Structure 1
Amino acid sequence: MPDLSTYLQYNDPLTIISRSGTPQDPFIDRADSLPVINGIITLLELPSPTDKVNIAGFIEIDQEVFENRPVLNEHEFLVHYGMGVIQFHPSQEGTVHLCRYKGRGLIMYPASRIYAMVTRNPDVVVTLQDYIDQIQAKINENQIALGKIEDAIKESQAQTDLSRVATDKANQAADNATIAANKAKDAYETTRLVFKEPVADIVELRLMYPLPEIGWTVQTYKDGKRYRFDGNHWIEIDVFGQNLQVVNDFKDGLMSIEEHKKLKDMPLELQDRVIVLCKDSYVFQEPIGVLAPFPFTGEIVKVEAICAFAGETESEITIERTRDFNTWLNVLDRNIKFNPNDRKDDKLVSIRHNQVLAGDIFRANVIKAGLNIQSITIQVTVRT
């Protein structure tokens, strides 16, 4: 098991996962098939300087030789063992080479040291940790706003319950008025309220009660108006709930203007979007050339893969992302694996870095290619 070490004298430490090179914790054999970009290849692990790096058809030169003539020949390369970087002659730009070496671990950088250039003149730099903090702050603000909305809803429900009680008491008063009608019929005819089932609007009211009696009272739930039949016409007598002020962009109501605008900006529902990475031919140990830029911010929730023709041996694939085409980050904790003769992955993929920022670029990197495996399609589901 590699040792995990951190540099705690820094606020945001680097994390180094290293192997000791002993029989109990040996260096592992690596074979990285990687392209030359900007004159260099960045290996997936730090190579052992003792065991060197082997590239078929090329010769490694020492640092001392390079310092005496700081120009590489076409078939020479220089290894920076402390950084895991291999330097090539400019003629090798864009070519892919299989680098064999013994891996002794890797260096992981904190989010506070991964930056993006937001604007120029003057330069404004924002780190990945800044974006993460801003997203968390937005989530906290939305949760507070939702809590206030829930409190307002509860208060409104309490007022509705009180109104129902008042309505029941009014119905009882109407019944008592009916008993008193024999003593004061004229007064009763002009003041009694006989509540009927509510309707949508005035049009439905006339259809529902074509032969009303004096005192019948009906509420329309579209606008909250109450109508009473006076013997000839339906007369509007009041508007139920008119004291409840509705909020808008210019006036406070049940919530403040700021809370109202935040609520309007919140998405009504989350949406799943899919990144598809594929290769329609034989699959080899190398990064698949298809790149997929993603224009939304979200969270990776699922990774699945299939192939048209199963391999005779095991295959393993990583999903990587970048923002500068130089540094590629494996987003998986457990890579995609195809067992021999299986056309679907083993469903044991686990995601380590699930947060996605708008502008991230994705690719698939074949770490181990099964014999005769062909036509792979990988689906990455991102919830935005």
Structure 2
Amino acid sequence: MANVQTYLEYNDPLTIIFRSGSPTDPYKDRADSLPVINNMITLLEIPSKSDRVTIAGMTEIDQEVFENRPSLLPTEFLVNYSIGAIQVHSSLEGTAQLCRYKGKGLIMYPASRIYALTNRNPDVVVTLQDYIEEIQRKLNETYDGITRLESTILHSVEVTERAILATDNANQATEKAETAAKLAQSAYDTTRLVFLEPVATLQDIPSKYPTPLVGWTVQTYKDGKRYRYDGSRWIEIDIFGSNLQVVNEYKDGLMSIAEHLKLKSFPIELKERVIAFSLPDAVQGIIENFIVFPFKGEITELSGYCATSGELVTILSLEKTRDLKNWSEITDRRLQFEPNQNFDDKKVTFRNINVEKGDIFRINLTQQGLGINNLTIALKIKI
């Protein structure tokens, strides 16, 4: 290494910072988890030889023992107390080991004594100090370049300001056009209606349409209400059918004048009334379609059918109340539609056939067969 003397003048001494180990300046207890690299562990401080180094599950051996060995065992380690290096078995490569020792301090080397062989033709040595000086020179050149760049940027800013001033009038015209476009878009957003497939209730809308757009409109078929998404929430906009007029002798409404007159011609003394529940799109659970019976009477018959049968069994009950709080089933056996059957052809018996004026009836669909649709439940009451 002929070039070593050129780069290393031996005028930068080592700096050693050691504790004395006295009660006023004791060695420092260290417990460092350190990696194994090239079969070596490099401690963060120089260890005290008298206090030794310990590694859990491993045994330290002396240099004299190691010299008579071809290699270390996986549970053995050898410590160089002068430089703070630990040699271990190659099987521990890449692992982390917890090393406990008392730290005496540090040995700090000057940058002029840390070298690198840049190539082998011949052995050229470059010190860390050389690299630091080269980096500083490059930084100085960079600072000069930044100063020139800042001057160029300042000139560009002046040119840009003149260009911005020249485009102000064009920007004002553009803003007016954008304002007009926003007003038109706002009018479009507030009136746009995109009708989607209906759901059962308002609570079902977020799960059916989790990422809605402005104007999406969904109807809930349990109550006929329509909801429109305004960009942040679903707003009720109308109730389907609320604008239908009641029929009278002079004007059609929910039925024609002829149907109205025919209905009025029926004799009032008819003795049997029918409560019919029409469930085109029934969903399992309590059907919130209550019917109040206005007469006193006796139940004579309960029957049901469906236009489209289900693939599995469907079970429902008819319940009665007077206060909308306490409901009771009126039959000993619930109506039951077997798979692929359109009728419940088994006769039911009633727990109490008496009906008082003002009794309220509802359907409880306790089990819904897959695919069943258009249910109709009829309750006959003799008055």
Question: Do the two structures share a fold, i.e. TM-score over 0.5?
Answer: no
TM-score bucket (shorter structure):
0.3 to 0.5
| Structure 2 length-normalised TM | 0.34
Report the structure number with the largest CA radius of gyration: 2
In the superposition, the TM-score normalised over structure 1's length comes to 0.34
